[in-house]
Amino acid sequence: MQSNISTTLLSFPKEFFRQNSEMMDGLVRRVFQEGQSEISFPSVCLMAVGGYGRAELAPSSDIDLLLLYSSSQKEKLPPLIEKILYPLWDLGLDVSCSSRSINECLKMAQSDLHVKTSLIDGRYLDGEYEFFRKLYGLFTKKVLHRKVEKFAEALAQDLHLRHEKYEDPTYTLEPNIKEGKGGLRDFQVGRWIIRAKYKTDRWDSILFPDHSRMLDKSLEFLWTLRNQLHQLSGRKQEDFSFELQEKIAPLLGFSNGTEGIEEMMRQYHLSTERISNFVNDVLDHVLHDPSPLRKALFLFKRRRIDKNFRMAYGEIYFQNSLIFKKDPTQLMTLFGYCQAHQAKMDFRMEEAVLEALPLIDDRFRNSEKVNQTFLSILREGESVETTLRKMHELGFLSRYIPEFSEIEGRVHYDLYHVHPVDIHSILAVGELGKLREGCYRNNYPLLTSLIGEIDKAEILFLATLLHDIGKGREGEHPLVGAEMAKLIADRMGLSLEDRELVDFLVSHHLVMVETAFRRDLHDEQAILRFANQVKTSNRLKMLYLLTFADVKAVGPEAWTSWKDTLLMELFLKTSHFFEKGAVAGPFLKGDEMIQKLRESLSSEIISKYADHLPSRYLSCYSSAEIAHHIEMARSIEKEFLLVEWEIVKEVQAKVTICTKDRYGLFSKIVGSMFLNRLNIIEAQINTWEDGVVLDTFWVEDSTKDLDRRLEQLKKDLGKILSGNVLLKDLLLTGEEPNSIRKKVVPKVPTEIRVNNEDSDFYTIVEATAEDRLGILYEIAQVLTDHGCDIHFARISTLGNRIVDVFYVQDAWGEKIEGKNRVDQLKRALSRLVLKSGNESNQ
């Protein structure tokens, strides 16, 4: 039945409950009286129990009734119950009515937890008042205040089972506001225990006024939500589904759209967190109140930690209740002890901590002793997550790091992020803790070994705790967060170097995920760009660990073996770069070079080409040269080949060739040079990522006939590349080899190396041999015949010795792997260079 009570009252739950219950009471009394007049049944008492008993009626709450009778008149009861139930059912109310004698009630309450708790909230409605009075006198004396500890244990167990059922992450996103963790049922559990133990309903009697006010607000918020849920869905709806979240946020005055929903859910999580803490506190009080025997033993078991703290039964006690007032820094010391001794706090200790929270001021936050203790908790401690959780639960963490309060309870309105940001951050630190403790040794051996390798683990832990700190503010959260984290690190007295590390980790905490999942890990450039951002091996390890912790802490299904593989691959490839030193030095200058190019080229051209230019290429040329190369590349869209040269000192020339890449190109170019008797001294072969080839050669011709020869080279190459002539044929008809024999020179040791270790992307072929005209062509030919595509080459001549390095891949873009392939290639090249050595010795 939907009442006539105005819907605006839904948000004032106490008043709503009052009016709704009053109206319901009137209704129930009327049907009861009518029933009684039809069926004469004098001595019976009608009671409201459960939520209705507490007069906390949401729009579609159950109405639980209890009829108390004296045992002699049982037969007439069923007709009376019918008279009461039918009219109420007809109104669409969810009514249940049980009937018991006083003795039955007491007996059942002793054995059945549910009956017992529903009786606690019992309320007289109509009929024989004496029955009610008698039941309550006996119930409180014989049941409620007896064996309170057992009662609490049973409730704790029930609570635990209930939480387990709602532990599934979907319930974190779409919580059940009654049964879930920190939900309304949890609050009742706390209240029942207080009633049983302290005979009062005033929970503030065992809480600080501050806390009870907050608790009251939390409770009202949940009640309001439940009222709206019932009202909107027209039934007893306690699952706070996405659909209803969307509808309710604006009704409660939150802004429209995702932001409003996130803010509402943040309040929800803060509220349930408070209720959760409340019930845990209450349970702790009751369950751990030491028995007289224990109190006696306690004196013996107690041992001293220092002059302020003692420990017994795994709990820390204080020696003097004024310690925090005298010296607030003892607060952090206490957390340090809790961790070092794997101990809990005695509940009086916790109260003292709560009471001391206002003493945490800027002096505390700037205190070296405090900060050093905090960092050592992060650095050395086992179970760092437990310690941080306790700090968080007691409100200590957000007093110590005030910025942390901005992310408390903050949620993402999506299906992926299960936990609010504060909990997520602490869980992420917990994941690192598990790695460090070796829990993941079998599943994630690489990460486990890495966490042992890094320097300054505490900085990583701190950055992980703070990685999402920017989520409470406007802007890109990694950047905003990095600014905040820098301030925090500064306050903690970290060195400049450590502050920079925190800054880097927080501001880059998404970069590894973005690179691993969205970039081609078989593209050297992608890895290089990533390595450029990371810069050092220690940072890379930390970033990998942070990324793992961050993803893992999102939810149980967030970390998959798919992501694991991609991130591991990115880590290993980048790590190889650092180990080989391949990234250090000139490669880092790529970005600077692009900046410089912006001065001379239009941004349109830059944006078209910048991404295609390999770092290796950028590091070998000046910006003027590169700008010129880009001009050349632009014009080969019309002409397919450009050959330019510049003669130096009559006998040498620098030749620049620009064309589109094709298989065997290098061998065709050097073949044409051989054909034209041009001796190659140095060469630089570059393949841009868009398939443009830009090669520079330093060639020599001792006959000082360079212009003519180069002109001819251009013609020959044009014909070969357009497919009109075969290089083979030209070589056959070419001039006789130069008959001038070289003079005898010292023999050069030859060496061929095929290296698959130094690059993750290319096979590196190195050849050292005695120089002779055409040798480069022959080498190139062998490489081409063995299926090698040359991406980069550096040819140099030192006296009569050539040292050539080729970066090659096969036609599939893979390295030349497999023992057979490598051996064949090596043999062929060795045969070639040895032949050359023999020839020149003849």
Partner 1 sequence: MKKIEAIIKPFKLDEVKNAITKIGIQGMTVTEVKGFGRQRGHTEVYRGAEYKIDFLPKVKIELITPDEMVSQVLETIERAAKTGKIGDGKIFISPVEEVIRIRTGERGKDAI
Gap between the terminal Cα atoms of the chain = 112
Q: Indicate the residue among 79 and 818 with the shorter CB distance to partner 1.
A: 818
CB of 502 vs partner 1, minimal distance in Å: 26
Encoded tokens for 384:
């760092």
Residue placing its CB nearer to partner 1 in the complex, 92 or 445: 445
What are all long-range contacts of 30-34, with beta carbons under 8 Å and residues at least 24 apart? 31/83, 31/84, 31/87, 31/88, 32/84, 32/125, 32/126, 32/127, 33/126, 34/83
**839 sits near partner 1 (criterion: CB under 8 A):** no
H-type alpha helices, 610-684: 615-618, 623-635, 665-675
Applying CB under 8 A, among 322, 439, 487, 572 the residue interacting with partner 1 is 572
798 binds partner 1, rule: CB under 8 A: no
Whether the CB-CB separation of 173 and 416 falls below 8 Å is answered with no
Which backbone phi and psi does 56 adopt, to 5 degrees? -110, 75
Of the candidates 129, 208, 416, 517, which one interacts with partner 1 according to CB under 8 A? 517
The yes or no reply on residue 511 touching partner 1 (CB under 8 A) is: no
Minimum CB separation of residue 460 from partner 1 in Å reads: 19
Residue 526 CB, nearest approach to partner 1 (Å): 8
Closer residue to partner 1, CB minimum distance, 151 or 762? 762
What angle (nearest 5°) sits at the alpha carbon of residue 818, between those of residues 816 and 822? Answer: 60
Q: Is 520 in the site for partner 1 (CB under 8 A)?
A: yes
- Least distance to partner 1, CB of residue 607, Å: 18
> Tokens for 530?
């990533």
Nearer to partner 1, 210 or 579 (CB): 579
Q: CB-wise, 396 or 578, nearer to partner 1? A: 578
Between residues 68 and 450, which has the closer beta carbon with respect to partner 1?
450
Among 105, 566, 670, 693, binds partner 1 (CB under 8 A): 566
* Backbone φ and ψ of 237, nearest 5°: -95, 120
3-state SS, residue 419: coil
Contact region with partner 1 (CB under 8 A), list: 282-290, 292-300, 401-409, 517-525 = 517-525
β-pairing, 95-101 with 63-69?
parallel
Instruction: Establish if 34 lies at the interface with partner 1 (CB under 8 A).
Output: no
Closer to partner 1 by Cβ: residue 592 or 817: 817
The two structure tokens encoding residue 622: 């000046």
Interaction residues for partner 1, span 573-602 (CB under 8 A): 573, 575
Strands (E), 92-211: 95-101, 123-127
How do strand 692-700 and strand 801-809 relate by DSSP bridges?
unpaired
Tell which positions 409-468 bind partner 1, by CB under 8 A.
445-446, 449
Does the protein bind partner 1 through residue 611 (CB under 8 A)? Answer: no
656's enclosing H/E stretch is: strand 652-660
Choose, by CB under 8 A, the member of 561, 602, 724, 733 that binds partner 1: 561
Give me the least distance between CB of 419 and partner 1, in Å please. Answer: 22
Dist CA 696 CA 699 (whole Å): 10
Q: Which of residues 808-827 bind partner 1 (CB under 8 A)?
A: 812-814
CB 784, min distance to partner 1, A: 18
User: In the bound complex, what is the minimum distance in angstroms from residue 597's beta carbon to partner 1?
Assistant: 26
Burial of 607 (0-12, 13-18, 19+ CB in 10 A): exposed
* 414-419 contacts, C-beta under 8 A, 24 or more apart: 415/173, 416/554, 416/555, 416/558, 417/554, 417/555, 418/169, 418/172, 418/173, 418/554, 418/555, 418/556, 419/172, 419/553, 419/554, 419/555
Applying CB under 8 A, what is the total number of residues that bind partner 1?
A: 23
What's the CA gap between 217 and 227, in Å, rounded? 15
Spatial separation of the C-alpha atoms in residues 648 and 632, rounded to whole Å: 21
Least Å distance, CB 518 to partner 1, is: 5
- Per CB under 8 A, the segment of 63-71, 557-565, 668-676, 792-800 that binds partner 1 is 557-565
Looking at the Cβ atoms of 235 and 522, the one nearer to partner 1 is 522
Residue number, 579 or 650, with CB nearest to partner 1: 579
Residue 817 beta carbon to partner 1: minimum distance, rounded to whole angstroms = 9
Q: Which is nearer to partner 1, 569 or 766 (CB)?
A: 569
Please identify, using beta-carbon distances, which residue of 320 and 565 lies nearer to partner 1. Answer: 565
Residue 79 is a binding residue for partner 1 (CB under 8 A): no
Phi, psi (deg, nearest 5) at residue 374? -60, -45
* Cβ proximity to partner 1, 361 vs 520, nearer residue: 520
Can residue 663 be called a binding residue for partner 1 (CB under 8 A)?
no
**135 touches partner 1 by CB under 8 A:** no
Cβ proximity to partner 1: between 525 and 684 the closer is 525
Contact call for residue 495 and partner 1 (CB under 8 A): no
CA distance linking residue 208 with residue 202, whole number of Å: 12
154 is an interface residue for partner 1 by CB under 8 A = no
Cβ burial of 649 (10 Å; 0-12, 13-18, 19+) is: exposed
Quote the CA–CA distance of 118 and 135 in Å, as a whole number: 13
Q: Which is nearer to partner 1, 661 or 700 (CB)?
A: 661
- 352/372 Cα distance (integer angstroms): 23
Sole window of 142-150, 389-397, 554-562, 698-706 interacting with partner 1 (rule: CB under 8 A): 554-562
Contacting partner 1 (CB under 8 A), which of 37, 43, 320, 560? 560
At CA 23, angle to CA 234 and CA 35, rounded to 5?
Answer: 100
Write out the H or E segment, with its range, that includes residue 589. none
Q: C-alpha 774: how far from its chain's center?
A: 58
Q: How far is the CB of 821 from partner 1 (least distance, A)?
A: 14
Instruction: Name the segment binding partner 1 (CB under 8 A); options: 212-220, 301-309, 393-401, 511-519.
Output: 511-519
Q: Closest separation between CB of residue 517 and partner 1, Å?
A: 6
Of the candidate residues 123, 163, 519, 628, the single one contacting partner 1 (CB under 8 A): 519
Instruction: Let me know if 378 is exposed, middle or buried by CB neighbors in 10 A (0-12, 13-18, 19+).
Output: buried
SS (H, E, C) 509-570: CCHHHHHHHHCCCCCHHHHHHHHHHHCCHHHHHHHHHHHHHHHHCCCCCCCCHHHHHHHHHH
Using the contact rule CB under 8 A, the part of the chain among 195-203, 515-523, 705-713, 782-790 near partner 1 is: 515-523
The nearer residue to partner 1, 575 or 797, going by C-beta atoms, is: 575
User: Contact between 113 and partner 1 (CB under 8 A)?
Assistant: no
CB 244, CB 232: distance < 8 Å:
yes
Span from 229-237, 407-415, 571-579, 667-675 in contact with partner 1 (CB under 8 A):
571-579
Q: Shortest gap between Cβ of 671 and partner 1 (angstroms)? A: 26
Query: Is 379 exposed, middle or buried, given 0-12, 13-18 or 19+ CB atoms closer than 10 A?
Result: middle
Site of tokens 């905003």: 480
Give the Cα separation of 513 and 502 in Å (integer): 18
Answer for which of 568, 651, 681, 828 binds partner 1 (CB under 8 A) is 568
Q: Is 556 in the site for partner 1 (CB under 8 A)?
A: no
Contact yes or no for 460/431 (Cβ under 8 A): no
**Closest distance to partner 1 from the beta carbon of 540 (Å):** 12
Compute the least distance from the CB of residue 568 to partner 1, in Å: 6
| Interface residue list for partner 1 (CB under 8 A) | 445-446, 449, 517-522, 560-563, 565-566, 568-569, 572-573, 575, 812-814
